[in-house]
A and B are shown apart, each in its own frame.
Chain A
């Protein structure tokens, strides 16, 4: 005899008020482990399902743009470290190139190569952190331990090059602060060689991990159209299937010489974003190796711009003209022409843009920072709706944002 069960007509019972539920409001953050800093999500829940999500940002707002208007171009370099503080070298480079565009300054090939190498190392370091933190968010602790071990090796190399592990301030307007130390490039290659097999091992912990795929596949899906409409950039945009990479499409700092592939996803979910980041690390290693293999000789700073670039220290201490030049640049700032420029670089989190309005002189009139994390987070109200609360944690992890950059 077949067993049957008829469900009561839920619509009718709901109309009688039997299933009526009350919306709950939940404030997640600003100090919640999954918000990676100080993001607050003001959510409205229907049971376990998010019906409304309003990101509250600004907890790390320091007024970087206001500060920039009150100091010379060179003095602002350390502030760029504190934008995306997981990849300060990449920020330094983006800012320096923007100002060099304003000054119409060409930097030597060696400087470009150093910047590319450091920016790609910064990308690996940032993606490793993103990966490790994402792993923790969805319950895979081990990845974090592996990725932080690798980051530590990168930090050692950063320290050797710049003198600082974290806040590197390595770029100058028209160059980098100093040449690479002897044997440094060999140590970078050695790092890359041991890193590649290890990366595969780390990614293997997640790629076919049942728990990880359950938490990320189909979660936080962003369509191609939405990704473009919200101004998403970087891995988050490419995971949605848009093959946009400024290193390829608007090459800067000599990226056009290097052979690398742009990883794109097909579904735009958290899992694709993870895969894209994993592949980008492999490609970064490729770029670094190529750049080191054909590492150009020469100066690491442009020499031909007298009113912009501070002369070398030994000249300052021995020659009158260089002393005066250095004095003028330090006190009045590098002298820039009047005008407007906008430059975006492909940073680990996406396109970091600087819009500089100059009225001439050593201080920008307006310096707008277009932060990729800011744009990437603006899609949260859309993709969180309909997700479970636990999915929100996974979505935040997969978007891989930095609040220092979002709030500026």
Chain B
């Protein structure tokens, strides 16, 4: 733990924009996107955080501003410490942070994933395209305004589309009993028997 704390103190001294971030476990910092690359490379070169373990986007809800944050987890193979960095994207409509792929080639795929799922752009990324969804997919599925069930979409290949006459359809289980989000849906309404109106004792089955 000391290595990470030393690093954090040094970074805060060097970049005034770098602030402590609330965290339940590892030392964490909020970093302005403008300083992000410099802070990351300083952590890598001067403080031994040589491994980028994870990059993930976070959507803080449609109404929030800043709406998108990119969270980095770095690990030191020498001191075995983690440190967490978070960079808020300034523009909610076109979120963007600098790419860390020049520092770690492994950032390439992580950033492609964050772009694919949240639409966060990484400036300077060599090949920013979708990774889990197909090229040309129109939505960003992990954004909070994207429904769990999905949105009906055309299949990517025109030939397959013409042949099968089908598309990627929304999941039929939306609002099903396994989806329990307290406060958002009424669980009684979500139960299958509540939807199956023809079977209640008050309403006779249609056709009888």
A-B contact count (CB 8 A): 126
Are the CB atoms of B148 and A70 closer together than 8 Å?
yes
- Residues of A109-167 contacting chain B, CB below 8 A: none
Nearest CB of A to B154, in Å: 17
A337 to B23 CA separation, bound complex (whole angstroms): 12
Query: Does chain B have a CB within 8 A of A357?
Result: yes
Question: How many interface residues does chain B have, given as a range?
Answer: 35 or more
A361 to B142 CA separation, bound complex (whole angstroms): 20
Are the CB atoms of B25 and A101 closer together than 8 Å?
yes
Query: Does chain A have a CB within 8 A of B24?
Result: yes
Nearest CB of B to A336, in Å: 10
Query: Does chain B have a CB within 8 A of A286?
Result: no
Query: Does chain B have a CB within 8 A of A207?
Result: no
- Which chain B residues border A228 with CB–CB below 8 Å? 50-51, 77
Binds A, one of B7-15, B100-108, B159-167, B196-204: B100-108
- Residues of B1-41 contacting chain A, CB below 8 A: 22-26, 28
Query: Does chain A have a CB within 8 A of B52?
Result: yes
Q: A72-B180, A229-B104, A355-B56 are in contact. Are A340 and B22 (CB under 8 A)?
A: yes
- Residues of B162-197 contacting chain A, CB below 8 A: 178-182, 187
Are the CB atoms of B25 and A342 closer together than 8 Å?
yes
Nearest CB of A to B164, in Å: 17
Are the CB atoms of A102 and B133 closer together than 8 Å?
no
Q: Is the interface of B mostly helix, strand, loop or mixed?
A: loop
Are the CB atoms of B133 and A331 closer together than 8 Å?
no
Are the CB atoms of A378 and B106 closer together than 8 Å?
yes
- Residues of B77-98 contacting chain A, CB below 8 A: 77, 80, 82, 84
A2 to B134 CA separation, bound complex (whole angstroms): 63
CB nearest to B104 among chain A residues: A229
- Residues of B93-146 contacting chain A, CB below 8 A: 104-106, 108-110, 113, 117, 130-134, 141-142, 146
Nearest CB of B to A187, in Å: 35
Query: Does chain B have a CB within 8 A of A304?
Result: no
Are the CB atoms of A101 and B73 closer together than 8 Å?
no
Nearest CB of A to B4, in Å: 12
Nearest CB of B to A343, in Å: 8
Are the CB atoms of B54 and A342 closer together than 8 Å?
yes
Are the CB atoms of A333 and B182 closer together than 8 Å?
yes
- Which chain B residues border A104 with CB–CB below 8 Å? 24
Are the CB atoms of A70 and B77 closer together than 8 Å?
no
Query: Does chain A have a CB within 8 A of B53?
Result: yes
A167 to B181 CA separation, bound complex (whole angstroms): 24
CB nearest to B150 among chain A residues: A63
A365 to B109 CA separation, bound complex (whole angstroms): 23
**Cross-chain contact of A366 among B59, B110, B130, B131 (Cβ < 8 A):** B59
Q: A71-B179, A244-B77 are in contact. Are A58 and B134 (CB under 8 A)?
A: yes
Query: Does chain A have a CB within 8 A of B43?
Result: no
Are the CB atoms of B24 and A101 closer together than 8 Å?
yes
Q: A57-B131, A333-B182 are in contact. Are A341 and B50 (CB under 8 A)?
A: no
Are the CB atoms of A407 and B179 closer together than 8 Å?
no
A350 to B134 CA separation, bound complex (whole angstroms): 27
Nearest CB of B to A168, in Å: 19
A341 to B142 CA separation, bound complex (whole angstroms): 19
**Cross-chain contact of A375 among B106, B141, B148 (Cβ < 8 A):** B106
A51 to B179 CA separation, bound complex (whole angstroms): 47
Q: A75-B178, A342-B25, A342-B54 are in contact. Are A230 and B105 (CB under 8 A)?
A: yes
A365 to B56 CA separation, bound complex (whole angstroms): 13
Are the CB atoms of A231 and B53 closer together than 8 Å?
yes
Are the CB atoms of A67 and B148 closer together than 8 Å?
yes
Are the CB atoms of B58 and A366 closer together than 8 Å?
yes
Nearest CB of B to A374, in Å: 7
Query: Does chain B have a CB within 8 A of A175?
Result: no
A374 to B53 CA separation, bound complex (whole angstroms): 11
Query: Does chain B have a CB within 8 A of A391?
Result: no
- Residues of A353-375 contacting chain B, CB below 8 A: 353, 355, 357, 361-363, 365-366, 368, 370, 374-375
Nearest CB of A to B151, in Å: 12
A374 to B110 CA separation, bound complex (whole angstroms): 9
A377 to B80 CA separation, bound complex (whole angstroms): 23
- Residues of A362-408 contacting chain B, CB below 8 A: 362-363, 365-366, 368, 370, 374-375, 377-379, 382, 407-408
Nearest CB of A to B172, in Å: 15
CB nearest to B179 among chain A residues: A70
A353 to B105 CA separation, bound complex (whole angstroms): 19
Nearest CB of B to A27, in Å: 14
- Residues of A67-116 contacting chain B, CB below 8 A: 67, 69-72, 75, 101-102, 104
**Cross-chain contact of A331 among B50, B52, B187 (Cβ < 8 A):** B187
A101 to B60 CA separation, bound complex (whole angstroms): 22
- Which chain A residues border B71 with CB–CB below 8 Å? 340, 355, 368
- Which chain B residues border A407 with CB–CB below 8 Å? 132
Query: Does chain B have a CB within 8 A of A344?
Result: yes
- Which chain B residues border A65 with CB–CB below 8 Å? 117, 142
Are the CB atoms of A353 and B73 closer together than 8 Å?
yes
Query: Does chain B have a CB within 8 A of A312?
Result: no
Q: A66-B141, A229-B105, A355-B73 are in contact. Are A340 and B182 (CB under 8 A)?
A: no
Apart from A66-B146, A366-B58, what 14 extra A-B contacts exist at CB < 8 Å?
A57-B131, A58-B134, A70-B179, A71-B181, A228-B51, A229-B104, A244-B77, A351-B53, A355-B73, A368-B56, A370-B53, A370-B54, A374-B113, A408-B132
Pick 14 A–B contacts, CB within 8 A, sort by A.
A61-B132, A70-B148, A75-B178, A228-B51, A228-B77, A244-B80, A339-B23, A342-B25, A342-B73, A361-B182, A362-B180, A363-B181, A366-B58, A408-B132
Closest 4 CB pairs of A and B: A231-B106, A58-B132, A368-B56, A339-B24
